[in-house]
Amino acid sequence: MKKLKNDTLLRALLRQPTEYTPVWLMRQAGRYLSEYNQTRARAGNFLALCKNPNFATEVTMQPLARFPLDAAILFSDILTIPDAMGLGLYFAEGEGPKFERPLREEREIYALSVPDPAVHLRYVIDAVSQIRGALNNQIPLIGFSGSPFTLACYMVEGCGGTDFRQIKTMLYQRPELLHHILNINAQAVIAYLNAQIESGAQAVMIFDTWGGALSHAAYREFSLHYINQIVAGLKREHNGQRIPSIIFTKGGGLWLEAIAESGCDAVGLDWTTDIAEARRRIGHKVSLQGNLDPAVLFAAPEIITTEVEKILTGYGHGHGHVFNLGHGISQFTPPESALVLVEAVHTLSRKYHQ
């Protein structure tokens, strides 16, 4: 095993000493980069981009050529698992993801089965290996999955951005049906993330994009419970290396203590949470990842720098902070602004690590 040249991210996720605060950006390979749009045009569409390991590798590497990021993240979609379950993922032009066959009937739900990643998600596993090759041990690769509840939202609603009427009706009226889906999803996510780890992912992140739409009690029962199962089922080591895990529930700032108890190594924060307060609440248990408002990147360089400094100061002295946005980078972000952010984090954070 060749050693990683820059393992700052992995050390920060494990609350080990680092020289500076590592930084990466959620959705760092994406539409704000012209080269991404060119590759996507060559691939034909977003799904073709995800399903072809060559294209997935190409776009994963693109932001790294522009910015001195401390991690790469697998380029993929969060809905690969339900697609592999046969729900028929597609993207209508100019709209978000949709499923041809959303789960509406009880028999469809009880017919669900856990896809074998080596068979049905081969293209993701191949992409992970290929990206690791392209990275050549310069920086670590993060694998990821959607959370069981977030996947279920799309599976039941059939699309994103809804009022959650279908899934919440199921949640309150037929909780056993939703628990059945979530159980299958949790098993699927464990198999999927472990397959990513075995093929080279050096850290894994669970995106619980819609958990924040739940009530505090429903969040615990229908989202966090299954995230806990996943964390317990993940390979903790691969080839002698610890594989850190990150949990990110957007809108979950009220529930940080419960999330930190999952056994994960790091908790992602959206921008509504004060990182100083979050560190006081859970910083003795886990690392924190976040949490700049992505809209700051629409402002001038000196303002970006000031806002970066505020978050670094908020976290304060010591290790265990991975800088990131509080949500995915906007497609309207000027790429130069991302560079300002990354350089500001690297430069300004050193004094907090002395």
The residues binding a copy of itself (CB under 8 A) are 163-165, 168-169, 171-173, 212, 214-219, 251, 253-254, 271-274, 277, 293, 295-296, 298-300, 303, 307, 310, 326, 330, 332
3 state SS of 8: helix
Q: How many Å apart are CA 134 and CA 60, to the nearest integer?
A: 10
Which residue among 66, 77, 90, 116 is the active-site one?
77
User: Quick check: 350 and 19 in contact, CB under 8 A?
Assistant: yes
Which residue among 20, 36, 154, 226 is the active-site one?
154
90 as an active site residue: the answer is: no
User: Quick check: 279 and 289 in contact, CB under 8 A?
Assistant: no
Task: Find the shortest distance in angstroms from Cβ 108 to a copy of itself.
Answer: 20
Residue (85 or 288) nearer to a copy of itself, CB: 288
Cα-trace Rg, the chain = 19
Whether cis (ω within 30° of 0) applies to the bond prior to 228 is no
Residue (62 or 337) nearer to a copy of itself, CB: 337
Task: Find the shortest distance in angstroms from Cβ 328 to a copy of itself.
Answer: 11
Residue (310 or 319) nearer to a copy of itself, CB: 310
The DSSP line for 156-217 is HHSBSSS--HHHHHHHHH-HHHHHHHHHHHHHHHHHHHHHHHHTT-SEEEEEETTGGGS-HH
Task: Find the shortest distance in angstroms from Cβ 217 to a copy of itself.
Answer: 7
Residue (207 or 255) nearer to a copy of itself, CB: 255
3-23: burial string, b at 16+ Cβ within 10 Å, e else: ebebbbbbbbbbbeebebbbb
281 as an active site residue: the answer is: no
What helix, strand, coil percent values describe the chain, rounded to 5?
A: 55, 15, 35
Residue (80 or 289) nearer to a copy of itself, CB: 289
31 as an active site residue: the answer is: yes
Task: Find the shortest distance in angstroms from Cβ 15 to a copy of itself.
Answer: 23
Pairing type for strands 287-292 and 266-268 reads parallel
Residue (35 or 277) nearer to a copy of itself, CB: 277
Task: Find the shortest distance in angstroms from Cβ 159 to a copy of itself.
Answer: 15
Q: How many Å apart are CA 60 and CA 243, to the nearest integer?
A: 20
77 as an active site residue: the answer is: yes
40 as an active site residue: the answer is: yes
- Cβ-based burial of 332 (10 A; exposed 0-12, middle 13-18, buried ≥19): exposed
Task: Find the shortest distance in angstroms from Cβ 28 to a copy of itself.
Answer: 18
Active site residues: 27, 31, 40, 77, 154
